[in-house]
Structures are given as structure tokens and as C-alpha cells.
């Protein structure tokens, strides 16, 4: 296959934990976007589904910048948070999860998608009430019939822009599927990252009461959670660069 670009598509989904998991998904999104901004990279939301408490049930976004994939590829997997939620009245610590997938962005020339393999549907976006997104059927859903993959985009004003975003997501997911054929099962790269979002399937734990982040793959911990959540991912990235 051709060499992939530096740009990536990241997908964050709330797992176990309800509203708190969605809030944690929002924290992870902030962490990655703040880090990207500090590198001078560009961030573009391709699709999102917000929760009632300003978190994200799901968010898909593109990060464009030199070295983005190499620096963030280790972020894929189930992230677990332990903290007292804002909605907790009795001060109890809750455990929630969110899943992260990191996919290299793929150009049109790198993977062939036949128009006949696609079903494209338009629908009304599910944004906040009263905004333009609810007034027209500008959101796009694309189904790739041979694989059953379904992607959506609803963050742009026009069908054309949303279709372009959805195709970008689809290309990256299909590329991941194609590269994993050598591992004898389609989608294992992406699915292995996402898992089932069960609390036990974790790559990293964010323990707020102890102000500690632990990566279970390399058995390494870091302190000062707030600083890392605010985008200072360098201590984690550098550690992974050393163990590669």
C-alpha cells in the first residue's frame, strides 16, 4: 500500500458509565485537541453526538499536522476514569470508560471505493434545538454495502461538505480493514482498539482522587492529571517513543 499521511482521524465514544462516560469523552477530546493546537496542527470535527451534560456520546475529528499519526497512534483503546462525577451527591467515586480509535487519514488515490458499493442517505442533523442543523436534511449517512460499514457526518451546513467528511471517515475505516486482512480478520485493528468498552478492557486509567494516570501496557504512571488533560501529552508520548 502507499505511504499513509501524517493526518489522522480520531474517534471517541462514551462507554460504560452513562453521562459521566460522555463527560469523560469530552475531556479526552479536549486533551487531544489542546495538544494538537500546541503543535500548530489543525483540528476539524467531522461528526459528533453530544450528551445532555455537554459531553460527547461520540465525536469523530480530523487532526492535520506533521507527525500526528506517529505521536498519537498509541492512544487507541479503552480509557478508564475513576473520579467523583459532578452529578454525584454522596461523594462516591465512579468508574467510567470511553473508547478511542486512531486511524490514518487516507487519500482518494490510496483506496478504491466504487460508487455502486455505496448507499447515501440524507437526514436532519440532531444538533441543539433551533439551530440551522435541524431545518434541512444536510446530514449524510453513507453505507458501504460490501462491508456493512456505516459512517455519518452532520457538522457542516451543506450536504456536499458533510458527504466529503463522511467519505474521509469511510476511506480511513476501509483502509484499516484492508490492512488487517493480513491478520485474517477484517477490522481487527479498529475493533481491537475499541473493544467492547467494558471497564475491564483498558489500556489506561485516569485516577483523579490519586492524581495519577497509569498506562497498563507499559506499566508506567504519571501525575498531575489536570496538566495532561489540558493537552500536555509529551510525557506519555516520549515514554512510548522509548519503548518502541
Same domain, 155 and 204: no
* Residue range(s) defining the domain that contains residue 123: 110-183
Q: Does 12 map to a domain?
A: yes
Q: Do residues 37 and 127 both lie within one domain? A: no
181: Cβ contacts below 8 Å, ≥ 6 apart:
none
> How much is the pLDDT for 194?
60
Contact of 22 with 56, CB cutoff 8 Å: yes
* Co-location of 36 and 139 in the same domain: no
> What pLDDT score does 192 carry?
61
Q: Give the model's pLDDT for residue 206.
A: 97
pLDDT of residue 197: 52
Helix, strand, coil % in the chain, rounded to nearest 5 = 35, 30, 35
Residues 22 and 74 in one domain: yes
Which pLDDT belongs to residue 5? Answer: 57
Residue whose grid cell is 441543539: 128
Same domain (yes/no): 99, 202? yes
Tell me how far apart the alpha carbons of residues 208 and 92 are, in angstroms, rounded to a whole number: 12
Position 216 scores a pLDDT of 94
The pLDDT, as a whole number, for residue 174 is 87
Report the number of distinct structural domains present in the chain: 2
pLDDT along the chain (244 residues), means of 10: 68 91 95 96 91 86 93 94 84 92 81 89 68 65 92 87 90 80 53 57 92 95 96 95 81
**Residue 42 within any structural domain of the chain:** yes
- Rounded CA separation 158/154 (Å): 9
99 lies in the same domain as 220: yes
CATH number, domain of 15, equals 3.30.70.1660
Amino acid at each position: 500500500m502507499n505511504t499513509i499521511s501524517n493526518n489522522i482521524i480520531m474517534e471517541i465514544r462514551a462507554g460504560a458509565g452513562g453521562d459521566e462516560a460522555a463527560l469523560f469523552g469530552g475531556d479526552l477530546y479536549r486533551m487531544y485537541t489542546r495538544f494538537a493546537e500546541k503543535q500548530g496542527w489543525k483540528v476539524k470535527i467531522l461528526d459528533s453526538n453530544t450528551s445532555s451534560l455537554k459531553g460527547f456520546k461520540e465525536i469523530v475529528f480530523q487532526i492535520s499536522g506533521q507527525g500526528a499519526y506517529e505521536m498519537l497512534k498509541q492512544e487507541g483503546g479503552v480509557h478508564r476514569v475513576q473520579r467523583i462525577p459532578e452529578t454525584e451527591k454522596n461523594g462516591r467515586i465512579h468508574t467510567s470508560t470511553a473508547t478511542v480509535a486512531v486511524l490514518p487519514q487516507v487519500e482518494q488515490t490510496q483506496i478504491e471505493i466504487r460508487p455502486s458499493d455505496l448507499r447515501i442517505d440524507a437526514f436532519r442533523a440532531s444538533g441543539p434545538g433551533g439551530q440551522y442543523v435541524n431545518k434541512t436534511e444536510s446530514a449524510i449517512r453513507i453505507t458501504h454495502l460490501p462491508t456493512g460499514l456505516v459512517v455519518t457526518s452532520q457538522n457542516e451546513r451543506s450536504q456536499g461538505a458533510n458527504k466529503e467528511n463522511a467519505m474521509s471517515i469511510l476511506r480511513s475505516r476501509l483502509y484499516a480493514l484492508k490492512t488487517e486482512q493480513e491478520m485474517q480478520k477484517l477490522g481487527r485493528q479498529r475493533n481491537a482498539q475499541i473493544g467492547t468498552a467494558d471497564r475491564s478492557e483498558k489500556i489506561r486509567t485516569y485516577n483523579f482522587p490519586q492524581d495519577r494516570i497509569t498506562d497498563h501496557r507499559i506499566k508506567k504512571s504519571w501525575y498531575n492529571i489536570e496538566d495532561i488533560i489540558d493537552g500536555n501529552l509529551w510525557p506519555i508520548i516520549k515514554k512510548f517513543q522509548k519503548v518502541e
